Structure 1
Amino acid sequence: MIPVYILTGFLGAGKTTLLKNLLDYVKKDGLRPAVVMNEFGMESVDTLSLQGAQVPVMDMLEGCVCCTVKGGLASAMLQLIDMAKPHVIFLEATGVANPVDIVDALLEPELHEVVSLGGVFTLVGATRFPLAVPPEFTQTQLQRTQFDQVRYADVVMISKTDVADFERKYAVESVVRELNGKAPILTVVNGNVDVKQLLDIRSQYGDPDADIPHPTALTTPSEKTAPLPKGIMRRVRERTEAPAEKVKPTSRPATSFGNLQTLHYEFTRPVVAERMYRFLYNLPEGVLRAKGFYVDSETHTLHEFQYVPPTPLVTEWPDVEGVRAFAVIIGEELEQDELRNHLQACEE
């Protein structure tokens, strides 16, 4: 059976950065990996950031893999296996996914003889994780999800320790240990971690189903590929979409999870960098995550932006071809029209 490793963690904890290192490791070890990428919104920035990894990816969009798109996970997983013949699969869940429900979805009858659970890895951002666990009846839906991500993890990795002070890092570790007294706690900086220790974790716990198999290709691919459920996209081959400046203007309705919403905006013109920086630095308190791509009006190069409160990060993207310019904003009680207007004002 093919081991599936689940990556969870709240918005902006660093899951995709860790995933890139995991993919590099298993490829060097002679294994062929594949990825199921779950995005809360309608477009996956994280999938696009994996382009250089040359790894087959299946997107599950417009919802959380553990709830609104749960019914399509088995179908997506089977089709990915048919197309990519992987030896190992990594499932990166959206930041609001509950690992218990994801594990339950992997136990669907269709997957029973095909995949096994390799491990549940949870990333905790040292700068944002709550420093206390309030009584359960007072917890918000987002708080319960964050705590469950830690509670049911095989390994908890604390990220952002390089930008958090020692006292906060120590307090976060104490909360993590309160929630999960058995899982190893590792420190992750820029996605760097002892990958072998991660991938062997369930075999250390005596679960023989979790051993990483030696390379063996599947030999019974289906002759036809069935239609995918709504919200799931194949990305096994290279994207061939139009460059950013040719995309027609569009704005899409928000996807919701409790009080959490996501807003998708597609840029129709190049963006003035100074205006974009100002927009990101002045995002309202309710915004928990923002990410996307834009074409710089001065250099005409594509840039990726990432925002985890309180700091934005902008980096030049090496190849404009095939990547649209768009923004995804995730938060609570978003003033959608106002945010759209501000994004439009960033364009030249």
Structure 2
Amino acid sequence: MDNKTKIPVYILSGFLGSGKTTVLLNMLEHCKNKGQHPGIILNELGQENVEGHLFEDKKVVELLNGCICCTIQDDLKETMDNLIAEMDSSPLDVLFIEGTGVANPLEIQESLLSKPYIDQFEIMSIITVLDASHYLEYQSVFSSSAEVRKLMKEQMVCGSLLLLNKTDLIRSEQLDKVIQKITKIAGVETELVKCSYGQIEAGMLFEKRFQSISIGKQHSDIDHHHHHHSTVQAIKLEDFPAFQQKTFEKWLKQLPNNVLRGKGIVEIENSNQFYSFQYASKKVTFTPVPSTLNKKNIIILIGTGLNNEAMNSHCKQLLEGI
């Protein structure tokens, strides 16, 4: 198979809550407008994907309960094998791979550059999304861990396009400071684009930026095959009643600082309506879930040090107090 017939691949990377899925949805809307048939590989740390309804009419493969850059890398290769086998009956125009918020995209990249995948797929860009509003906090030795700082460096160094998202949430002087620090790590040659709500001109998102010759640089900058997200876990809460929206928002904002991300589906009291919620940067948004979907209350919390009895007890106490 020659280059002209290879399927273009876009890898979406970025730390927890940076806005990867929002960027992906924007890219999918562009594909829809062009009449293209995209394939999507979604990777989640937890046991359940609570955002599946966002991709209801798309060809999606969910890789759950692990990270495709390490613990379930074989699952990624098996998925790619299946996509190749289905090419004739279910052709793809483009493939998107969204890693977990703690994935090192270098591992995903290397899988795609190996046989037989390099003959079928062509990496166009590794898009790393960064949360401008929390960047300085995540990089601080006083409010973050060495693991988180190292992981974010890996994601930036691997990125062929850096999207500095949520710029509307910080002041201009703070934004300038964030840009200076990112440029110092990623280098001036890596394009950095500011945005809010993941909105960026489609031509920039879909431009081919990946150069395989950059692997050598990445190997020298990254502690290869050493995974820095061993302390990041996901826990699932379920079997709880409907509650008032304001009460739930208050509960989320009272969660400990080591809860970096929250998402799920909840029923709002007296509304007979389920809502998908997204929690990051101490902010929460709600989106109605189509009534045609059979849904249940479920909350996924992702952060550091969450897989312990104390954290589970704390969450249950908060839920019982609602």
What TM-score results when the alignment is normalised by the length of structure 1? 0.78
Separation in 2 of the partners of 1:263 and 1:275? 21
Q: Displacement, 1:132?
A: 9.1
Q: 1:31 and 2:7 equivalent?
A: no
Classify the secondary structure of the residue corresponding to 2:284. Answer: strand
Contact 1:11–1:95 (Cα < 8 Å) also in 2:
yes
In structure 1, how many angstroms separate the alpha carbons of the residues matched to 2:127 and 2:121?
17
RMSD: 2.5
From 26, 41, 45, the counterpart of 1:21: 26
The alpha carbon displacement at 1:268 in A equals 4.5
Segments of 5+ residues of structure 1 without an aligned counterpart are 208-255
1:48-87 aligned within 5 A? 48-51=53-56, 54-81=57-84, 82=86, 84-87=90-93
Match of 2:159 among 147, 153, 159: 153
Residues in 2 aligned to 1:328 and 1:25: alpha-carbon distance in whole angstroms: 29
User: How far apart are the structure 2 equivalents of 1:66 and 1:16?
Assistant: 18
- Provide the residue aligned with 1:342 in structure 2: 318
Tell whether the 8 Å contact from 2:131 to 2:165 is kept in structure 1 after alignment: yes
Distance in 2, matches of 1:341 and 1:206, equals 50
Say yes or no: does 1:10 pair with 2:24. no
Tell me: CA distance 1:155–1:28, structure 2 relative to 1, closer, same or farther (3 Å). same
Equivalent residues in 2 for 1:1-348, closer than 5 Å = 1-51=6-56, 54-81=57-84, 82=86, 84-130=90-136, 140-181=146-187, 182-202=189-209, 257-319=229-291, 321-334=293-306, 335-346=311-322
Gaps in structure 2 of 5+ consecutive residues: 1-5, 214-227
Identity within the alignment, %: 27
The question of whether the paired residues in 2 share the 8 Å contact of 1:66 and 1:105 is answered with: no
- Which has more helix, going by share of residues? 2
Structure 1: distance between partners of 2:290 and 2:257: 32
Q: CA deviation at 1:103?
A: 0.6
> Does the CA-based 8 Å contact 1:292-1:328 persist in structure 2?
yes
Task: Letter of the 2:152 partner, please give it.
Answer: Q
User: Is the partner of 1:303 in helix, strand or coil?
Assistant: strand
Q: How many residues align?
A: 293
Q: 1:187 deviation in Å?
A: 1.6
Counterpart residue identity of residue 177, structure 1: T
Tell which deviates more after alignment, 108-117 or 178-187. 108-117
Provide TM-score, normalisation by structure 2. 0.83
Distance in 2 between residues matched to 1:188 and 1:47, nearest whole Å: 25
Structure 2 SS opposite 1:312: strand
Q: 1-side partners of 2:12 and 2:160: how far apart? A: 11
Letter in 1 for 2:66: G
